[in-house]
């Protein structure tokens, strides 16, 4: 895959999956624009000194003004990869409205606003690729028991991805999402030390699927919700 001369936005690029995606993009020649929320993220970011990396002090991606400033800073984006989000467990009976709204804002509203900004930027430059991230409970609703707010927010990402893909297909903008199960990250291993970590999909493996969907090599795939479950 060749991303030389192409600008790519990666929200959530300072996370575990983001680092794997970014490494692949840099190896393929992309110029990567990575927003961050906290200064510590930028200071600890291993690619911060790379000449093809543009770190952007952004803010809350559920804020329209923040997203508008982010995309205004990126010249003719070819791809937008939206990895930003968060997880919080909780039974419905124990989930207050503010906790529900944090999941919706962090996972769905931020993705929606970034997709909107990306589409408007890509229309002006002749097309591009958008890749979102849902989650297994977005497709397998019963598996969202004990995390219903999270499952609902990711189901909204999945539905929006498929609808948007239909809206913009004739504008040479292909929109897809990957749908991971629990990924093999240090944080997940710490949270679930007794799980079968070998069965979890590795971030490099999930990143490989994302990179193809975001690449010029993807000429026909759109509206896909691609399960990346590994053996789990």
Angle at 123 between CA 122 and CA 125, to 5 degrees: 65
In a domain, 2, yes or no: no
Angle at 203 between CA 88 and CA 46, to 5 degrees: 95
Cα 65 to its chain centre, rounded Å, is 19
What phi, psi does 7 have (nearest 5°)? -100, 135
Residue 130 forms beta bridges with which residues? 80, 175
Give percent helix, percent strand, percent coil of the chain, each to the nearest 5.
50, 20, 35
C-alpha closest to that of 141 among 155, 158, 122: 155
In a domain, 30, yes or no: yes
Average pLDDT over residues 146-164: 98
In a domain, 22, yes or no: yes
CATH number at residue 184: 3.40.50.720
Question: Structurally, how many domains does the chain consist of?
Answer: 1
What's residue 18's pLDDT? 95
In a domain, 157, yes or no: yes
What's residue 232's pLDDT? 86
Range of the domain at 68: 7-228
H-helix or E-strand containing 81? strand 77-82
Burial 137-164 (b: 16+ CB within 10 A, else e): bbbeeeebeebbbbbbbbbbbbebbbeb
Is residue 212's pLDDT more than 90?
yes
**pLDDT, tens only, 62-75:** 999 999 999 999 99
C-alpha closest to that of 211 among 34, 84, 28, 48: 28
- CA 10/CA 8 separation, integer angstroms: 6
Give Cβ neighbours of residue 104 (< 8 Å, ≥ 6 apart): 149, 152, 153, 156
Banded pLDDT at 178 (limits 50, 70, 90): very high
- CA 101/CA 97 separation, integer angstroms: 6
What's residue 42's pLDDT? 87
Average pLDDT over residues 75-100: 97
Is residue 41's pLDDT more than 90?
no
Q: Is pLDDT larger for residue 81 or for residue 39?
A: 81
- CA 9/CA 35 separation, integer angstroms: 8
Is residue 1's pLDDT more than 90?
no
In a domain, 1, yes or no: no
In a domain, 177, yes or no: yes
């Amino acid at each position: 895959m060749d991303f030389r001369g192409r600008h790519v936005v990666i929200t959530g690029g300072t996370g575990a999956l983001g680092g794997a995606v970014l490494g692949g993009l840099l190896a393929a020649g992309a110029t990567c624009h990575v927003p961050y929320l906290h200064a510590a993220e930028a200071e600890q970011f291993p690619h911060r000194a790379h000449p093809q990396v543009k770190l952007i002090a952004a803010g809350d991606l559920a804020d329209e003004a923040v997203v508008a400033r982010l995309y205004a800073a990126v010249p003719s984006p070819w791809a937008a990869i939206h990895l930003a989000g968060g997880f919080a467990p909780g039974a419905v009976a124990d989930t207050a409205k503010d906790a529900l709204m944090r999941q919706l804002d962090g996972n769905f509203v931020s993705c929606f606003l970034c997709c909107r900004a990306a589409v408007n930027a890509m229309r002006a430059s002749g097309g591009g690729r958008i890749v979102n991230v849902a989650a297994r409970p977005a497709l397998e609703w019963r598996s969202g028991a004990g995390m219903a707010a999270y499952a609902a927010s990711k189901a909204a990402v999945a539905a929006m991805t498929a609808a948007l893909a239909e809206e913009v297909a004739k504008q040479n903008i292909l929109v897809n999402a990957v749908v991971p199960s629990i990924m093999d990250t240090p944080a997940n291993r710490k949270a679930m030390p007794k799980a079968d970590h070998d069965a979890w999909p590795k971030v490099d493996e999930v990143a490989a699927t994302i990179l193809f969907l975001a690449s010029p090599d993807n000429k026909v795939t759109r509206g896909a919700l691609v399960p990346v479950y590994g053996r789990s």
